[in-house]
Amino acid sequence: MYLMLLAMDNFLLRTELVLEDCKEHLHDTDNMDSSIANYLTQYIAVIFCAEMEATVKELFDKSVKLRTVYLADIELKEFIDNQLKRLKSSSLKKGDISNHIENFSNLAKERFNDQLQNNDQAITTYSSVVICRHSIAHTPSPSQVTFRELEKAVEAAKIILNAMQIALQQESNE
């Protein structure tokens, strides 16, 4: 049994929809470099990070459920479920995700990191948006993330989620 892989196009659908609607509006009104673009970028960054958190958690949940479905030891299964609940889904940086994947195995972490080789620039843009989302939510200063950077970060997030999905995939021993 394999963890069913989702196409990268199926990740972050809500974010993609909001991003496209806002991009169309900004182009139609010639406001791509305006304060309105900055406000919309901040709004989308919050949506993006929320959806990313939910997707990361969902991928971990699915992997654990597939691996424990035939586990007969109820207490061990409950222990695993409790550990999964402790997973800090707000840790969205690539390194944090990698460390959570390492809880499955070092091999899973290696698969994850191998999938992300040659994507350093994309990962940096993604990380920048994740960090800025925190300041958007918790400080009054305006965001320094541009709409174009946010678009790139969403594409990088899809690469990260795909790598995560591949890393968590395991052939069953049955």
Q: Is residue 139 part of a domain?
A: yes
Q: Is residue 49 part of a domain?
A: yes
Average pLDDT of the residues in 128-145: 85
Sign of CA dihedral 86, 81, 100, 15: negative
Average pLDDT of the residues in 140-148: 85
- In this prediction the pTM is 0.87
Q: Is residue 1 part of a domain?
A: no
Check residue 2 and give its pLDDT: 44
Q: Is residue 137 part of a domain?
A: yes
The domain tally of the chain equals 1
Q: Is the pLDDT of residue 8 over 70?
A: no
Q: Is residue 144 part of a domain?
A: yes
Q: Nearest-CA neighbor of 58 among 10, 1, 102, 95?
A: 10
Four-point Cα dihedral 60, 65, 105, 49, nearest 10? 0
Please write the tens of the pLDDT for every residue from 18-53. Answer: 999 999 999 999 999 899 999 999 999 999 999 999
Give CA separation, 82 vs 78, 79, 87, in Å: 6, 5, 9
User: Which residue range is the domain that position 91 belongs to?
Assistant: 8-168
Q: Is residue 164 part of a domain?
A: yes
